[in-house]
Amino acid sequence: MKLHEYQGSELFSQAGIPTGAGHVVTTIEEVEKLKDSLGDLLVIKAQVHVGGRGKAGGVKLAKPENAVEVASKILGMDIKGLTVKKILVKEAIDIDKEYYLGVIQDRANRGVTFMASVMGGVDIEEVAVTHPDKIIKVTIDPSLGLQEFQVREIVFGAEFPVELRTQASDFVRKLYKVFMENDCTLAEINPLVVTKNGQLIAADAKVETDDNADFRHPEWEDMRDLDGSDKLELDAKKAGLSYVELDGDIGCVVNGAGLAMATMDVIKYNGGKPANFLDIGGSSNPDKVVTAMNILMAKPLKAILFNIFGGITRCDDVARGLITAFEKIKVDIPVVIRLTGTNEEVARDLLEKAGYKVGSSMDEAIKEVVALANNR
Ligand code: GDP
Ligand code: MN
């Protein structure tokens, strides 16, 4: 689950990381009421789940006397397809310098990896490309926890000058605590600013939590914002499907997580781009297929691939599910179906009678769907 900046900041401040004074509001009346209580300069920040709000015009400085004007421009504005419904009104920080400090769940290195840089404020992906030497990466073994020598490695690596090292070390330890205690996949402070009087403050908060841990975080229920892609993943979850949105254009409906992963790999291998990971599990229930299709088609696609292995699930049941589903929803892009396993002949027969082409080799079906998608 992605958290908004104000929610992430709340977690930071509970852990003792300074974030600066501010309030999240949804109306201009609230801005009117609090504009004179936050100092001579305010910063007004859109709370939407998109990166680069600043560049998109969603972060603006304002004097108390024009706070209402600035806030009314940001509230309701559209940022990359999302409407701004909440804004964070904060006391502006007098910034001397911007650093970067982030921590991620790092599957490749089987640990929790800190990244820190003296080049904060800007897109860290950009820094990684243009100045890879300016990013320090330190992987923590979560069973041992963050070690003091690693704290020093991070702080020195990010080139914090001597007078800021104690504060910076404190940020690292506390950020690690926030990350672990809240089952995060990402906790990022960009920028981590140094004020003109030498204080470190987290001027932004980007936090994502691991949905696999939601059973032990009842508090997450109220924190979820159903705008944006989180909603689709949640709908899928409610329907008993696992769905992860990706940025390609070939929709995939697969049964079994392993087969779904393999399908995405083979699509990529053949020059296509999967639009999603979707595991419909061991069910052939037409309702589930309809739900899957609706979730899938919430974003523009070029083609759809069904890749079903009938083990316990019978292919003919899946075929009936597909036929019923296609009767219910209109699909105006090419669909490639590959079925194999129990009762596949019956399934193929049913689908072919209904006018669908069915392949039995995964390789063949994937090559076909990639070609169809790339020709559109
Ligand atoms: P993002 O674009 O979504 O990452 O939003 P940020 O919260 O990181 O803000 C973008 C940029 O706005 C920062 O890198 C700062 O340069 C600037 N900014 C944000 N908050 C403040 C503030 O309190 N004071 C000042 N002077 N600038 C700020
Ligand atoms: Mn930022």
Task: Examine the pLDDT at 230 and tell me if it is beyond 70.
Answer: no
What is the Cα 376 distance to its own chain's centre?
Answer: 28
**Nearest-CA residue for atom 5 of ligand 1:** 54
Which ligand 1 atom sits nearest the alpha carbon of residue 52? 2
337 lines ligand 1 (CB under 6 A): no
The predicted-structure confidence for 163-198, as pLDDT tens digits, reads as follows: 999 999 999 999 999 999 999 999 999 999 999 999
> Which pTM does this prediction carry?
0.78
The predicted-structure confidence for 293-352, as pLDDT tens digits, reads as follows: 888 888 899 999 999 998 887 888 888 888 988 888 888 899 999 999 999 999 999 999
305 lines ligand 1 (CB under 6 A): no
How far apart are the C-alpha atoms of 276 and 281, rounded to whole Å? Answer: 15
Smallest-distance ligand from the CA of 43? 1
How far apart are the C-alpha atoms of 268 and 88, rounded to whole Å? Answer: 40
* Assigned CATH topology for domain 231-373: Rossmann fold (3.40.50)
How far apart are the C-alpha atoms of 101 and 288, rounded to whole Å? Answer: 42
10 is catalytic: no
Non-local (6+) Cβ contacts of 101 within 8 A are: 114, 115, 116, 120, 154, 158, 168, 171, 172, 175, 188, 189, 190, 192
Burial of residue 247 (number of CB atoms within 10 Å: 0-12, 13-18, 19+): exposed
The CATH homologous superfamily to which domain 21-92 belongs is ATP-grasp fold, A domain (3.30.1490.20)
Non-local (6+) Cβ contacts of 268 within 8 A are: 274
**What mean pLDDT is reported for the chain?**
92
269 is catalytic: no
Which ligand 1 atom sits nearest the alpha carbon of residue 121? 14
**Nearest-CA residue for atom 16 of ligand 1:** 121
Smallest-distance ligand from the CA of 21? 1
Q: How confident is the model at residue 285 (pLDDT cuts 50, 70, 90)?
A: confident
The share of the chain scoring above pLDDT 90, in percent, equals: 73
Look at domain 95-222 and name its CATH class: alpha beta
Q: How is residue 87 written in tokens?
A: 């804004």
Report the candidate in 156, 195, 196 with the shortest Cα–Cα distance to residue 172.
156
The domain segmentation of the chain, as residue ranges, is 21-92, 95-222, 231-373
Mean pLDDT of the region 71-78: 95
Ligand 1 centroid, distance to 203 Cα (angstroms)? 7
Q: How confident is the model at residue 290 (pLDDT cuts 50, 70, 90)?
A: confident
